């Protein structure tokens, strides 16, 4: 089956740097290892995973300044088809430092640009121009300063109007504002989903009941809630799927959720069942936890974990 077109949208990307030090402590100079630098931000990370799995994807990202130029060069080097939305501000950087003594990870995120209303509209127009019938658009990540909470609500409307489907990975007020705006899949972790529902979702019954209420109200067609070490629960109008998270040693938290969303979208765009797409997503998220720093999941690991979960290889 031919893969549906995939577009990822990242309004707040980051140049991700990762390093390690023998010990992270206040006071002395910390002599770090040579850093690894990757293009980052929710939609960009999802696109990296989609491409790694063999999918075709177009990246729409807001980039500005010297940091934005470097990030854009990394996207080109990664072979990602990119549509740049220019901003007068400087693209942000993030720094991840692993403490080799106690195996803890420290993550520092610098502020990014303040987007103007004109830049926001250009982002929407650029993303919308990439949508054709059947396109899956992934909106992922935080919103930069200058954009209102309602910013993730407008894109799903435009995507749906052009015959596309929207996968949205966000939380808090932006997620609430986007409910009922034409979302196909909304993904949050358990704490974020509880905030969205306004009730505790500590057991299977409450999870299924509250998420089905949202679906019945037209908030979204599918909800995917992360459950940490338990995996995820995926609820649609007629299905409840609970893919289990593999028990792997956790080396880094960077990009695990983005890897999940990227792999899930790859499966949906390939015409897989919701069950298989969700299982691939959870496999990718777990595989990303097992890699160091800003490295995302590795294909061999994702394929192995998917086969362990389903008893069969990844469909081709």
pTM for this one?
0.94
Instruction: Provide, rounded to the nearest whole percent, the portion of the chain with pLDDT above 70.
Output: 100
Place of tokens 């909470």: 149
CA dist 297 and 290 (Å) reads 8
Position 248 scores a pLDDT of: 76
Position 289 scores a pLDDT of: 87
Query: How confident is the prediction for the chain on average, in pLDDT?
Result: 94
Asked if the model's pLDDT at residue 2 lies above 90, the reply is no
The set of catalytic residues is 258
Q: For residues 187-200, give the mean pLDDT.
A: 92
Residue-wise pLDDT tens digits, 136-174:
999 998 899 989 999 999 999 999 999 999 999 999 999
Q: For residues 181-193, give the mean pLDDT.
A: 94
CA dist 119 and 283 (Å) reads 36
Q: For residues 175-187, give the mean pLDDT.
A: 96
Instruction: Provide, rounded to the nearest whole percent, the portion of the chain with pLDDT above 90.
Output: 85
Q: For residues 109-115, give the mean pLDDT.
A: 95
Asked if the model's pLDDT at residue 1 lies above 70, the reply is no
Q: For residues 225-249, give the mean pLDDT.
A: 90
Residue-wise pLDDT tens digits, 248-296:
777 777 788 999 999 999 999 999 999 999 999 999 999 998 887 778 9
- Token pair of 301 as six digits: 């690991």
Asked if the model's pLDDT at residue 135 lies above 80, the reply is yes
- Select from 1.10.10.10, 3.40.1190.20, 3.40.50.10470, 2.60.120.920 the CATH code of 6-14+35-91+114-310: 3.40.1190.20
> What's the CA angle centered on 297, arms 242 and 282, to 5 degrees?
5
Asked if the model's pLDDT at residue 82 lies above 80, the reply is yes
Burial 279-295 (b: 16+ CB within 10 A, else e): bbbbbbbbbbbbbebbb
């Amino acid at each position: 089956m031919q893969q549906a077109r995939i577009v990822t949208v990242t309004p707040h990307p980051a140049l991700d740097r990762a390093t390690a030090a023998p010990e992270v402590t206040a006071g002395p100079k910390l002599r770090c290892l040579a850093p690894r630098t990757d293009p980052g931000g929710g939609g960009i990370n999802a696109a990296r995973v989609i491409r790694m799995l063999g999918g075709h994807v177009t990246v729409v990202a807001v980039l500005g300044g010297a940091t934005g130029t470097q990030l854009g060069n990394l996207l080109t080097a990664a072979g990602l088809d990119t549509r740049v939305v220019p901003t007068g501000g400087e693209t942000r950087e993030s720094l991840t430092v692993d403490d080799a003594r106690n195996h803890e990870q420290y993550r520092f995120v610098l502020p990014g640009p303040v987007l103007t209303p004109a830049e926001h509209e250009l982002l929407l127009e650029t993303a919308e121009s990439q949508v054709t019938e059947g396109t899956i658009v992934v909106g992922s990540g935080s919103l930069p300063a200058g954009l209102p909470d309602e910013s993730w609500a407008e894109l799903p409307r435009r995507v749906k109007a052009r015959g596309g489907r929207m996968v949205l990975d966000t939380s808090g007020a932006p997620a609430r504002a986007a409910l009922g705006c034409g979302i196909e899949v909304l993904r949050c972790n358990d704490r974020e989903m509880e905030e969205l529902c306004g009730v505790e979702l500590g057991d299977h019954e409450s999870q299924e009941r509250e998420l089905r209420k949202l679906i019945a109200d037209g908030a979204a067609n599918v909800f995917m809630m992360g459950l940490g070490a338990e995996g995820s629960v995926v609820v649609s109008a007629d299905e409840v799927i609970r893919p289990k998270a593999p028990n792997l040693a956790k080396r880094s938290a960077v990009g695990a959720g983005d890897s999940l969303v990227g792999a899930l979208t790859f499966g949906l765009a390939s015409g897989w069942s919701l069950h298989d797409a969700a299982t691939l997503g959870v496999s990718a998220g777990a595989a990303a936890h097992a890699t160091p720093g800003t490295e995302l999941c590795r294909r061999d690991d994702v394929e192995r974990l998917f086969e362990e979960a389903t008893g069969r290889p990844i469909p081709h």
